[in-house]
Structure 1
């Protein structure tokens, strides 16, 4: 850092880590007969499913497409309600809208920032069809309680695990709890395929629906055809989409998966340093990890309580950005977005999520960060002017 504490180059809040093995894996596919709809897709699907402890994996062009596919497989349609959290990226509820359903937002637990199972119970109606919990920042939601609610009311659980591949809840990996679990492979996530997503599931019926949905609703399986006119013959049996992943992406994903545990270990090490160095600062709330969870730490979110710091959250954000610390904010509660406001969602329906949003800032955490990078962030946070309380 320079004399004024400013880094020479912006440190992003998240970034992919690619090496020569990743490049070579992609080159091998580019030199092969298949760059899409080839064997690398199935290899990648099986690798992710095996890692997560699931029977099946279905790769999609991105995580949003995967969530859309899960809603289709779950049979969500017009008149159905799906309960989810407002503290997430838009895809977690948009996927319900795509199917004609209605997202219902349940407030977060103010300690974990994940959806509160007690709030889920309060939002249940006769029209509730499914629950979409989100593992915010990489910490799994309370899946045992959520699954208990689902069983009592005959609901489907679609876990949005875009942040949490490799995380554990009560000793079981994410991917073994829900009816369907979505992983994302965007460049800021734990492993990347450029863009990409996947649903893992143990349910064969969901699996077959997902395969059709990502490919225009088409099947070539002789056991599913209504008739068979020859080896060329296929049928469109439902209205699907072109949500296919390419073999180029899958090859990168296979290579990245070989390093996933190393990436997660480094994320946890960075978080350990943050927790040690930033604890005890008045008015700075660090993220809480419950004893039954083992987060994979996609995000590290701290809260600056306004009564302890000079200036607003925006002032703090800009101060850190001016030092080339690439902080971010995750997320504006979904129902506060203009589109959702126009649908009739009201301000104040999830007060804990709104209170969180007003004070939260995401600090950088990604595997390629050096210890120097980590301590640059720590130094910048410690230099934020505080009130004398």
Structure 2
């Protein structure tokens, strides 16, 4: 019997509802949190540093800064990269709005790169073409945020080469991708970027409830990230103006934010990190099983670039609408009504009403708009058993054939 889950948008929960994503909390996770609750520290304490070190060690990166959300992580990453008024940020339209909003938080302009029709990540060809034109127009981006959609890394070596050629900084939005790799190097290593951002929302690979992390190999960026997450304050005498007044003394050097993670969250995150590879391995099993069970249906299944090892945060199918007798919306809503908690990742950011105020319109990014008309995210998470997965497949088969 499947677990009982809340259904967003429905009055009552059904006992046999299968969500598209769900956290897995075991007794070790609970014990780790209880230990912190019995300790002297529940806000800013030693658990945060342990969690940061666990992630940094796993990714092979020098510095990690835990924050309250991936949105906060993106914001301070942009600030640390000196994004500001008059600057330009580019990202993918196939993402949650936070990947673009972070640029607006910094008073920068935001633009988008259409997606690759196979990976659904930003298209390298489109990026190259747009950079060449932007150079002619004198409006190159200061920051590019490639989004590792569904857990699959973007083509980071090519992006890094372009960043050297055109002089922009790279912030990887790896909110979906902890536990994945690119060219056999762990996502988060920052081998081809200045900064990487992770999310620990409950539907992601590991969770801290809400939370995020910023990773970098550059000490200067790290020192600024530390300040920005905590009101712009430092207690480091080497960074202060003038002499310290005493052991109590601190200085605010810039305008920062209260983006701190708690020890309670960090304890959960550090415990979850011990099972990260197990989580990803199970997702790979489920993804491969979907590939086998769905191959004869009128669907486009996810394609994996040979340089990548996805963490499979999402399993996205695309309907071959010319081969079925129902609309995209009909299939989606019938699956929901059958207790299959499908979702749609994402509504292209540029067609959101808020972004249309900046002049973006339908037709500006045709690949992502076509994708949006066909895509459905079906359930994939660590606790999804084969019986429930079979039910997902049977529900799809019933509606497509």
Using structure 1 for the length normalisation, give the TM-score: 0.96
SS at match of 2:111: strand
Aligned pairs for 1:72-91 (under 5 A) are 72-91=79-98
Is 1:299–2:314 an aligned residue pair?
A: yes
* Unmatched segments (≥5 aa) in structure 1: 2-6
Q: CA deviation at 1:122?
A: 2.6
Post-superposition Cα deviations, 1:124-178, rounded to whole Å, max 9, x if no partner, equal 3334101100000001001011011001112110000000001111111111232
Q: CA RMSD in A?
A: 1.3
SS at match of 2:25: coil
Is 1:250–2:266 an aligned residue pair?
A: yes
Partner of residue 155, structure 2: 142
CA distance in 2, matches of 1:123, 1:370: 44
SS at match of 1:200: strand
CA distance in 1, matches of 2:375, 2:123: 19
Aligned pairs for 1:11-22 (under 5 A) are 11-22=18-29
Pairing partner for 2:145 from 112, 116, 132: 132
CA distance in 2, matches of 1:238, 1:231: 21
1:217–1:239 CA contact under 8 A, matched in 2: yes
Q: CA deviation at 1:90?
A: 0.6
SS at match of 1:223: helix
SS at match of 1:59: strand
Q: CA deviation at 1:8?
A: 4.9
CA distance in 2, matches of 1:385, 1:58: 46
Aligned length: 381
SS at match of 1:131: strand
Aligned pairs for 1:5-84 (under 5 A) are 8-84=15-91
Partner of residue 291, structure 2: 275
1:83–1:123 CA contact under 8 A, matched in 2: no
Is 1:363–2:370 an aligned residue pair?
A: no
Post-superposition Cα deviations, 1:334-369, rounded to whole Å, max 9, x if no partner, equal 010111011221221110000000000000000011
Post-superposition Cα deviations, 1:76-118, rounded to whole Å, max 9, x if no partner, equal 0011111110000011000000001111101000111000112
Pairing partner for 2:349 from 331, 334, 337: 334
Partner of residue 125, structure 2: 118
Partner of residue 158, structure 1: 171
Is 1:208–2:223 an aligned residue pair?
A: yes
Pairing partner for 1:344 from 339, 355, 359: 359
* Unmatched segments (≥5 aa) in structure 2: 2-13
Is 1:185–2:200 an aligned residue pair?
A: yes
CA distance in 1, matches of 2:324, 2:399: 8
Which runs of at least 4 in structure 1 moved beyond 6 Å after TM superposition?
Answer: none
1:83–1:120 CA contact under 8 A, matched in 2: no
Partner of residue 264, structure 1: 280
